Structure 1
Amino acid sequence: MARIVLTAGGTGGHVFPAEALAATLLERGHDLTLVTDARGAEYGGVLGQLKTVRVRAGQVAGRGRLGQMAGLFDILRGAWEARRILAGMNPAVVVGFGGYASIPAMAAASMLHLPTIIHEQNGVLGRANRMLAKKVTAVATSFEDVRRLPPGVAHERVGMPVRQAIVDVRDTPYPDTGPDARLRVLVLGGSQGARVLSDIVPGALAALPEGLRRRLEVTQQCRPEDLDRVRGAYDEADLGHVALSDFFSDVPQRLAEAHLVIARAGASTVAEAMVVGRPAILVPLPHAIDDHQTANAQALDAAGGGWLIPQDRFTVELLAARLTDLFEMPATLRAAAGAARAVGVPDAAARLADLVEATMRKPAGGAGAAEAETTEKTVTKETAQ
């Protein structure tokens, strides 16, 4: 049994893979500690059961000059807090999942010459991970091609760890596409829904030919404030088989039953569609940092498992035409489902756990030892940029 530290925080995209890895490492008998920021008190599931240490961390991007200075100060304070904590624990390896909440512990681990891994969920290396990539022992990624990797930094694709409930439905056959079969559409917009999907999807489905409209079953996640107007749009279109909510607890089952997913292109959403093998129309969030959702969507599009539609082209008319073509050519949907499944990595959590165990057996410090003396200066300089 080894002592392993995980550090994660912020959005679900950073937290979900940490949760999946934690479950796998606990099954293998390891002793885990989570280092996070103040938001760690909100975690449930496996992460909520771990020994948890909170350190200071602050966001820098997207803030004014004073906000950036305050965020930088919190990160530096957090790094020294984490250094004291990690020195007392002497973990076998420290694993970070990006986001500013991970910087203090990862920087501290590098200062202490501890073996370290970062996992990048998106098709673009995030700002926190870019800052750390040259100092860690190993870089694990969800995608084969990852933009913004620093020159000379190697990476190992392990995939994006997803919930076990998603893996459990991977072998569900693609639904029947016969002429009398229901056409099930699953619309997801992240944890809070996406307003553009609420604006466009109901009208596009209402514009389908009558024969297709009668066969539709729609599940759509909406923002709470959008639920009434979206329900009204579906009622006006006389689409009766519609389930609307701001949260669905049974997404894995609904995903397995879906013929088509329409969604944003967050790392978790794309990975889950790949693992289950369901084709997706992806509308990346246009203002995402480093446009990482476009990179995620391009990976699925290039594999033949889905279709990227930029938000500025995502109209009722275009979507209705695309859906009509797809539903009238079910062989295209089936082929895309197979292509999506082929690039899914259902054992990503196990692969990442294997890398963790291999890394902790390497000499302390790994690739980061030679640069540990410059870590504090680099964190200060690059975080401020």
Structure 2
Amino acid sequence: MWRHVASNGLTLLIVALAVVGGAIAWGVRQFDTAGPLETAICVKVAPGSSMRRVSEDLEAQGAVSSGAIYRIGANYKEKSADLKAGSFLVPEGASMAEILDIITRGGQSTCGTEVVYRIGVNAREVQVRDFDPATGSYGEVTAFDPADEPPTEYRDVRDATDTRYRIALAEGVTSWQVVDALKAADFLTGEVEAVPPEGMLAPDSYEVRPGDERGELLNKMKALQEARLEAVWRNRAADLPIETPEDVLTLASIIEKETGIPDERGTVASVFVNRLNAGMRLQTDPTVIYGVTNGEGVLGRGLRRSELDRPTPYNTYVINGLPPGPIANPGLASLEAAVNPPETDLLYFVADGSGGHAFARTLDEHNANVARWRALEAQRAGQ
């Protein structure tokens, strides 16, 4: 009889083990295979959240089929205590394993609210934008001048832990403009001891965190520009009329200020290189303006005849060759244009009335282009 009981007990144990093994295998499949989410969502993990609270939220939003299995998997992976506060994008069909990795790996929030501080040549603006996971894009909530009283929409997200911050630096801004704008950023800290050298701040988009030091951010901008300058100098064309990387930076800054049209940068560069090779003066208004303003703000009016005639180190109507230094912070495209311009025989250009320029090989062609531009200006003024 005992033999019979033992046999039945062993059978039951085997069956139980088979059931448990099957359940574990099923749970593993549930954890690792594609999940039920049909549309991407943003998952917000508040500071101090527990894995249970997050799993319940995921189940409520239809991202996981079972919060319990999700928690078991998190415990098995030893990640239950690794939650990172923020807002994270969970794509459609993400498995429990993928979701667990997303909310525990750390780093910047990947969705939610973003504050973008745009520093431009003529204006600066703070934008508050919300991420739409369904479209994968940001939509503007509000925008304001940082010199004005911040709107409620900004104050509501200012201290939220999942708000992302970004500084967007436009091509052609001066170093003084950058420093002046950063001083108005209330989410940054620290004093700026001195304005960095002109041209040495790389226009780009920079992720920052509340409390970051202004000086450290400027150092990051400078390091990126140094790396870009080194790379373009190393890959420069032969026989350029420029002798140093500093000359490249100066020429690129003039190109940057002369045109905002990407396709024109190379052509503008070729004009200046041709003029330097021919021993002609550059005769470019942006350098004269820099001599008047020293890069501190925008002139806000046309140049006077007296300013065009006045000798200054930056008046390229008077001096030969390049001015003594950059007149703005050029972007990578202008740096590349300065060291690898296309071969042309162009020597002149003037505005064409459409936002671009009319280029010419001879002075007669140029004078005809200037006459057309002045006629267009007169026509617009009379409307």
TM-score (norm 1): 0.30
Greater C-alpha radius of gyration: 2
TM-score of the superposed pair, with normalisation by structure 2: 0.30
As a proportion of its length, which structure holds more helix?
1
